[in-house]
Amino acid sequence: MIRGALNIKKLLSAMARLDASDLHIKVGIPPTYRIGGTLKPIDGDPVTEDEADHLLDPILSDIQKKRFDETGDLDFAWHIEDPEGGAGDRFRINLLRSGNHTHAAIRRVKAEIPGFADLHLPKVYSDIVHREREGLVLIVGVTGSGKSSTLAAMVDEVNATRSENIITIEDPVEYRFTPKQSIISQREIGIDVTDFHEALRHVVRQDPDVIFIGEMRDQETVLSAIQAAETGHLVFATLHTADTMGAFGRMLEFFPQDERTFVRNSLSATLKAICAQRLIMSNSEITGTKVVPAVEVLLTSPMVKELIRDERDADLPSVVASSREEGMVSFTQYFAELVDKEWVSMQVAKEYAPNRDMLESILKGVEVKAASLVGRIKG
């Protein structure tokens, strides 16, 4: 793929040409790209200890070098300009110390902010943006599930359609927003503010209408998000959990047992939606892309609010499954829809759907309905 002396800027520039999502730099193996979900090393020698320790020096500031030396971890973003005047590419870079040497995991993030259609997201995502003016909206998923892109699309939809003051708190800033109808301040941890706690302590004094929190990762962040939503702000945030149901447990585990009733009551009053997603290999001939999101959406209807307050989380999946017309959908239902649209193969859907028997039952129902309609037309 790439020969000659290692150069971080050349390695990053090649990611667009190779359609690579990630780049890994580790001592003892050649630089390795992730292409179509598969790790593929370049045609070259293994990275030496000295190369690993200094390969990223050209794109690090003195402050970033100092932080990495002190902590052994560093998250930051870097941007490559497009020589032809396009948006170029941005990269989310994580440095870590391993065996007393520097390793790097680099994710390519296209500089152009995607829209809902680009991401193949269902209409309910747009509905949430246009319906809600206050409250808490969570985008959840595991690492690499496309949370950042989805949230960027939602925030940019607000930016394009409403006159709002948007403040983001990110670690690092991945997408750079251009003000449209709204005004935007993007605060990066470690550069503009020391940490999430400090940024959230002051954010409500900065006259925001919309607050975007890169990730809720501890008790103070969760509590600040809830309080901001309670005081009339629209708060978007991400949470690292696999599905909508897991989001409740993830947030509650940050609090001692005697405070969880209070947190539940606050969530029942402020939570507007939890949108979970995972990226699934797609039929690219139809979708035009290698992966599409499979989603699960929980909206807080009066019944859902009551179940949250009463600690009846176990009843939520049945509410989601029976509320498709309201915009809610379970992962299994959505997999059936993806198969029906031929965006995803049945084999892939069966591999990832939480309930294979239900998936087959839903699809059989679709087939029976379709056959019935054909019979009526012929008759």
Give the tens place of pLDDT for each residue, 302-328: 999 999 999 999 999 999 999 999 999
Instruction: Give the domain ranges of the chain.
Output: 8-110, 123-364
| Cis ω for the linkage preceding 208 (within 30 of 0) | no
For the chain, first and last CA: distance in Å? Answer: 60
- Mean pLDDT computed over every residue of the chain: 91
In this predicted structure, the answer to whether residue 86 has a pLDDT above a threshold of 70 is no
Question: In the prediction, which pLDDT does 171 show?
Answer: 86
In this predicted structure, the answer to whether residue 340 has a pLDDT above a threshold of 90 is yes
Question: In the prediction, which pLDDT does 167 show?
Answer: 97
In this predicted structure, the answer to whether residue 379 has a pLDDT above a threshold of 60 is no
- Confidence at 5, pLDDT banded by 50, 70, 90: low
> Would you say how long the chain is, in residues?
379
Q: What is the pTM of this model?
A: 0.82
**At the fourth CATH level, which superfamily is domain 123-364?**
P-loop containing nucleotide triphosphate hydrolases (3.40.50.300)
Question: For 84-88, 113-117, 173-177, 207-211, which range has the lowest pLDDT when averaged over its residues?
Answer: 84-88
For residues 312 and 375, which has the higher predicted lDDT (pLDDT)? 312
In this predicted structure, the answer to whether residue 376 has a pLDDT above a threshold of 70 is no
CATH number of this structure's domain 8-110: 3.30.450.90
Question: For 180-184, 187-191, 216-220, 364-368, which range has the lowest pLDDT when averaged over its residues?
Answer: 364-368
Cβ atoms of 14 and 89 within 8 Å: the answer is no
> Which residues partner with 24 through β-bridges?
32, 105
Question: In the prediction, which pLDDT does 279 show?
Answer: 94
Question: In the prediction, which pLDDT does 79 show?
Answer: 86
Question: In the prediction, which pLDDT does 377 show?
Answer: 45
Question: In the prediction, which pLDDT does 370 show?
Answer: 44
In this predicted structure, the answer to whether residue 233 has a pLDDT above a threshold of 50 is yes
- Confidence at 87, pLDDT banded by 50, 70, 90: low
- Alpha helices, DSSP H, located in the chain: 8-18, 49-54, 62-71, 123-131, 147-161, 196-203, 219-230, 244-252, 260-270, 284-287, 302-309, 316-321, 331-340, 346-352, 356-378
Q: Residues 115-129, buried b or exposed e (16+ Cβ, 10 A)?
A: ebeebbbbebbbebb
> Under DSSP, is residue 30 helix (H, G, I), strand (E, B) or coil?
coil
